[in-house]
Amino acid sequence: MERELALEFVRVTEAAALSSARLMGRGDKEKADQAAVDAMRRAFDTVYIKGTVVIGEGEMDEAPMLYIGEQVGTGDDPAVDVAVDPLEGTNLVAKGLPNALSVLAVAERGCLLHAPDVYMDKIAVGPQAVGTIHLDASIEKNLKSVAEALSRSVEDLVAIVLDRPRHERIISEIREAGARVKLISDGDVSAAIATAVEGTGVDILFGIGGAPEGVLAAAALKSLGGEMQARLAPEDEEDEERIKKLGIKECNRLLRLDDLVEGEDVIFAATGITDGDMLKGVRYFGKTASTHSLVMRSRTGTVRFVEAVHRLDKKPDYIVKAGRHEGCQ
């Protein structure tokens, strides 16, 4: 992939963020999500790639846009796999809560795990703790290993976990080990990334979240030099069949970072929709709006933060309506 594509992918996440942010705090997560999907899909039409959606809004009969298998881009080389979450944290936007993002990951064809929309058990850390964790080790052992790698005590660590009943045992064990816990209501892509970004105050992620989100987070962690281990966690036979349908033969296999995201050329882009630990949310100023994004490339290890001001009176190549408002680039 040409490095110039990185900014084009930022334009795609910016479009989704600008459209969905108009609905922040309005209590309608479906409408906010649809605004993001529509804007992202149309923005892809301007990008010079031959893209295939491998992680998107669902199967072809479930999603009219950005469905698994859909072709995006202009149809020109390079041929790439695309993973998207136009609005990561639908509830966050609906309630006006922090850390909602628009995200995508792009890799060479065949390099992204085709993860179905099932649960995935995950553990993730930043670069300094690579090689110290194991998904099958106890919570206490993982915390002690990370603390040693970071030259800290366990009491200094912060573990981030989705606030769900299924995580009661994990949360209890973290507290018993002496570490601190940051509970989040939604958005475990941003949570996993936070483990590898200085200044977020987060050291390790534990818990079960969505498998598609796991692949997106892995793409970011690969660029940041972090580590993730995961295992699919199907709830029933229907989930197991969906996994096998996508060519994954062993549901219980331990998945390491290179299993989730292969190859050495992965680009990850994200734009903040609401204010978060890493990115500011969209701001509107009458005739202009501002966005805050990041884009990373695993081949170079470069992380760029992009602040942009958008003229709302200038019509882009694609127009997406969100209520009475129009999305813009």
Mean pLDDT (the chain, rounded):
92
pLDDT at 243: 86
Decide the pairing of beta strands 283-284 and 227-232: unpaired
pLDDT(324) > 50: no
pLDDT at 277: 86
The string of pLDDT tens digits covering residues 265-274 is 999 999 999 9
Tell me the two tokens of residue 101.
């993002």
Beta carbons within 10 angstroms of residue 303's beta carbon: 15
pLDDT(96) > 90: yes
DSSP E strands: which ranges in 109-244?
Answer: 119-125, 158-162, 180-184, 204-210, 227-232
pLDDT at 62: 74
The string of pLDDT tens digits covering residues 261-312 is 999 899 999 999 999 988 999 999 989 999 999 999 999 999 999 999 999 8
pLDDT at 316: 62
pLDDT(321) > 50: no
Decide the pairing of beta strands 321-322 and 302-311: unpaired
- Split at pLDDT 50, 70, 90, the class of 313 is confident
Helices (H), the chain: 5-21, 29-44, 90-95, 139-149, 168-177, 188-194, 211-224, 237-245, 257-260
Asked if 104 and 268 touch (Cβ cutoff 8 Å), the reply is yes
The string of pLDDT tens digits covering residues 203-252 is 999 999 999 999 999 999 999 999 999 999 999 988 888 888 878 888 88
Decide the pairing of beta strands 158-162 and 204-210: parallel
Helix (H) or strand (E) holding 326: strand 325-326
Contacts of 88 (CB under 8 A, 6+ apart): 100, 101, 102, 103, 187, 189, 190, 213, 216
pLDDT at 280: 97
Distance in angstroms (rounded) separating the CA atoms of residues 82 and 254: 23
The string of pLDDT tens digits covering residues 56-67 is 998 776 778 999
User: Hey, what domains does the chain have and what are their CATH numbers?
Assistant: 5-110+266-326 (3.30.540.10), 119-260 (3.40.190.90)
